Amino acid sequence: MSDHLFRLKIYGVRGSYPPTTDNGHTYGVNTTCLRFDIEKHVVIFDAGTGIINLGNDLFQEMRQADGKQNYKKLHFFFSHLHIDHLMGFPYFLLNYIPDIEMHMISPRILTYSLEQVLEFLMSPALFPVTLNELPSRRTFYDFSENMVALFFDHGFEIHPASEAAKIKNWQGKVSCLRNYTHPKGGAYIYKVESHNGKKVVFATDVEGFVGNDQRLVNFARDADILIHDAQYTLEEYAMFQGFGHSTYEMACAVAKEAGVKKLLLTHHDPKHGDELLAQLEAKAREIFPQTHVATEFMEFAF
Ligand SMILES: [Zn+2]
Ligand SMILES: [Zn+2]
C-alpha cells in the first residue's frame, strides 16, 4: 500500500430494486452503495442494499483491529432520497454499535430532509427499531453546490466553495452538482478528489440529453473515473423518457466529451441479466473503449 490512501470499492450497482440472483450472477444484485477510503476516513455514498455487505466488511475490519481506518466516525453522502438509495440503511450493522458516530450529508429533496425520510423509513409501522433507538449517533448536514466538504487528518469540515478554494492542506475533497433531470427533486452528482489530483465523479439517477449535459461535462472534466447511470437500453428509453435515467450511449457521450480516463456504467435495470449487460458493455466500448459495467466488489486504488 502506498503512503497515501485513496480507494474506491463498489458495493451496489442496481437501480430500482434488487433483482433475483438469476439476473445478478456476474454483476451483482444490490442497489447503490459506494465506499471510499480517503486516508483514514471511511466515506460512503448512498445506502442501497449494498450497504449491508459494506457493514459486514467494516465490522470484520474493526474486529481485526489492525485496520488503520477510523471506523468510529463514518461519513455519508446521499445522491437523493429515493428508496433504492436508502433501503439498506436500517440493516447497516454499524447502526447497532454504540460509539459509532455518523455524519450524514445530503440534499433536501423537495421539502424533505434526510433525517425526516430516515425517521419515516424506520417508523414503528415499517421497521422494529426507530432511528432514535439506535445506539449509534448521527449528525445531519445540508449540502449544496456552493459548499465543499474537506477531509483533514482530524476529520472533515464543510466550507463555502469560495473559502475552500483558499485552503490547501486537505487530504480529500467532496463537491457536488445538482442535477434536475431526476423526477421530483433531482439528484446530486458528486466529485471526490484526492490531495494529489485523482478524481472520481459519481453521477447516478441522471438522464442525458442531446448535446450532453454541459455542466456535467465540465464537472467531470479529466476525471480518472466517471460512474454514470445507464439503466436503459435505447428501446427501453423510448418508453421511459423522463424517468430520470440514461442509456449507455448518453453515458459514453459524456465520458468522451469530458475526456475521462474510465467510465463505469451503473444503476443497472433489475430486469437486465448477465448476457444483456455484457452486450451493452461491448456496444458501449465501440463508442468509448474504456467502459466497464460496474460490478459489485470492484475496487480501485489510486
Ligand atoms: Zn435510483
Ligand atoms: Zn432515484
Question: What cell was used for 242?
Answer: 423522463
Q: Which of helix, strand or coil describes residue 156?
A: strand
Residue 75's closest CA among 109, 110, 39? 39
Question: What cell was used for 184?
Answer: 421530483
**Dihedral pair phi/psi, residue 14, rounded to 5°:** -95, 150
- What pLDDT, on the 0 to 100 scale, is given for residue 178? 96
- Nearest bound ligand to the CA of residue 244: 2
What is the whole-number distance in angstroms between the Cα of residue 182 and the centre of ligand 2?
A: 7
Q: Is residue 189 within 8 Å of 169, Cβ to Cβ?
A: no
Q: Is the pTM of this model over 0.95?
A: yes
36 has a pLDDT exceeding 50:
yes
pLDDT digits (tens, 9 = 90+) for 221-231: 999 999 999 99
**CA separation for the pair 69, 180 (Å, rounded):** 35
What is the whole-number distance in angstroms between the Cα of residue 80 and the centre of ligand 2?
A: 7
- Nearest bound ligand to the CA of residue 15: 1
Give strand pairing partners of 266: 229
pLDDT digits (tens, 9 = 90+) for 2-28: 568 999 999 999 999 999 888 888 999
68 has a pLDDT exceeding 90:
no
Provide the 8-state DSSP code for 39: T
110-114: long-range contacts, CB 8 A cutoff, minimum separation 24: 110/184, 110/185, 112/81, 113/140, 113/142, 114/78, 114/81, 114/140
What is the whole-number distance in angstroms between the Cα of residue 19 and the centre of ligand 1?
A: 14
What is the whole-number distance in angstroms between the Cα of residue 104 and the centre of ligand 2?
A: 18
Residue 10's closest CA among 39, 40, 41, 48? 48
Mean pLDDT over the full length of the chain: 96
56 has a pLDDT exceeding 90:
yes
**CA separation for the pair 103, 100 (Å, rounded):** 10
Please compute Rg for the chain using Cα positions.
18
- What pLDDT, on the 0 to 100 scale, is given for residue 1? 43
**CA separation for the pair 66, 9 (Å, rounded):** 19
What is the whole-number distance in angstroms between the Cα of residue 84 and the centre of ligand 1?
A: 5
In the sheet that holds 291-293, the strands lie side by side as 155-160, 147-152, 172-179, 187-194, 199-203, 225-229, 263-266, 291-293
**CA separation for the pair 29, 49 (Å, rounded):** 9
116-122: long-range contacts, CB 8 A cutoff, minimum separation 24: 117/81, 117/86, 118/86, 118/89, 121/83, 121/86, 121/87, 121/89, 121/90, 122/89, 122/90
Which range (23-27, 51-55, 146-150, 298-302) has the least confidence?
23-27
pLDDT digits (tens, 9 = 90+) for 235-283: 999 999 999 999 999 999 999 999 999 999 999 999 999 999 999 999 9
How crowded is residue 184: how many other Cβ atoms within 10 Å of its Cβ?
A: 10
- Nearest bound ligand to the CA of residue 85: 1
Write the burial class of residue 209 (CB in 10 Å: 0-12 exposed, 13-18 middle, 19+ buried): exposed
Q: Which of helix, strand or coil describes residue 157?
A: strand
Residue 75's closest CA among 45, 48, 47? 45
143 has a pLDDT exceeding 50:
yes
pLDDT digits (tens, 9 = 90+) for 152-200: 999 999 999 999 999 999 999 999 999 999 999 999 999 999 999 999 9
- What pLDDT, on the 0 to 100 scale, is given for residue 66? 67
Residue entry with cell 449540502:
143
- What pLDDT, on the 0 to 100 scale, is given for residue 67? 66
Residue ranges and CATH numbers for the domains of the chain are: 6-301 (3.60.15.10)
Residue entry with cell 466529485:
191
What is the whole-number distance in angstroms between the Cα of residue 73 and the centre of ligand 2?
A: 27
To the nearest 10°, the Cα dihedral for 9, 283, 48, 94? -10
What is the whole-number distance in angstroms between the Cα of residue 205 and the centre of ligand 2?
A: 5
